[in-house]
Amino acid sequence: MGAIGFIGLGIMGRSMAKNLIDAGHDVTVWNRTASRADEVVEAGARRAESPADVARSNEIVMICVSDTDDVEAVVFGPEGVTEGVRSGSLIIDHSTISPAATKVFAGRINELGGSWLDAPISGGAEGAVKGTLSIMIGGDASDIERAREYLDAVGTTITHVGPQGAGQLVKAVNQVLVVGNQLAVSEALLLAEAGGLDLEATLAAVEGGAAGSWMLSNRGPQMIKRDWRPGFTIDLQQKDLRLVLEAADELGVPLPGTALVFQLYRALQNRDLGSEGNHALVKALEEMSGIKLGNYD
C-alpha cells in the first residue's frame, strides 16, 4: 500500500482519511483547526505541521476543504502545498470550488512540474463514512490511474469526465439535480401531509417507482421524523449554489429553479438555520403554507 497526504478533515474529509487508513495506506494529515485531526491521528494517521509538510512527504496529496479561497490558501499560501510540490507531484482536489479558478490553480501546479485532478465528490456524509462516494474527475487519465488505489478507498463510482476543470463543472450539474430533487421531495411530502396521508406509507409507495431517488430515500425519512442533522449543511449547499449560478451566468444558461432554491435557502439562513441539513429546505415551504411535516417536535 502507498503513502498519501490528506488536507481538510471536516465532515467529509475526516471519514475519507479514515477509509484510506482502513485500506492500509500510510496517511499524513493536516487541518487548519488542529484538534479536528485528533480522531484521524488516533486511527493511525501522522499529523503534519503544514500543507507544505504534507506535500514534501507525499507525492500524492488529496484536499477536501470548503471553498475556492480555502483551496487557494492551503495550496498557494504561506507554508502551502506548492512549497512541497516537485516533479511528479499530484494534487487531487475533492473540494467543490469554482470551475474557472480550478483551471487557474491547475495551470500553476502544472508549471511547477506537478499535476492536478479536480475530483469533487457526492454522496453525503453517509457516502463518506461507507466509502461509497461518487467522484467526478477532470484531468489526465494517466493521473487517475496513478491515484486509483486511493480513489477506490473512498469512492465506488469514479468517472473521468474530461480535462482539468470538467470535474467541477460536472459537480455543478450534480448540485442542480440535488437541490431540484430536494425541492420536489419537500413539495411532495408537504402535499401528502396536507392530505392527511401516512407519510411513511406514502414514501414506501413511491420510492420504488419512477419518482424514486437518492434524496427521497435518504432524506425523506429524516424529514418525516424532523431529523435535521446534516449530511450536508444549508450553508455549504448555498456555497455550492453560488458557484453553480456564477458558472451559469458565465455560460449564459438560465437556471430559474436553482435560483429559486437559492432564495429559499437564503430565507432559512436568515432564520439562523444554516447549520441544519439541506433537507430542511421543507421548512421554507412550511413557513409559506402553515403546514408542518410530522408530529415529532
Map residue 29 onto helix, strand or coil: strand
- 171 given a catalytic annotation: yes
Taking CA atoms, 220 is separated from 67, 224, 284, in Å, by 28, 6, 16
Distance CA 248, CA 244 (A): 6
Q: Closest by alpha carbon to 122, among 262, 16, 256, 251?
A: 16
Amino acid at site 49: E
Q: What DSSP line would sit under 115-129, residue for residue? A: EEEE--EESHHHHHH
Catalytic one among 18, 171, 283, 292? 171
Taking CA atoms, 197 is separated from 190, 203, 224, in Å, by 10, 10, 12
Instruction: Name the burial class of residue 287, with classes exposed (0-12), middle (13-18) and buried (19+) by CB atoms within 10 angstroms of its CB.
Output: middle
Give catalytic residues, as residue numbers: 171
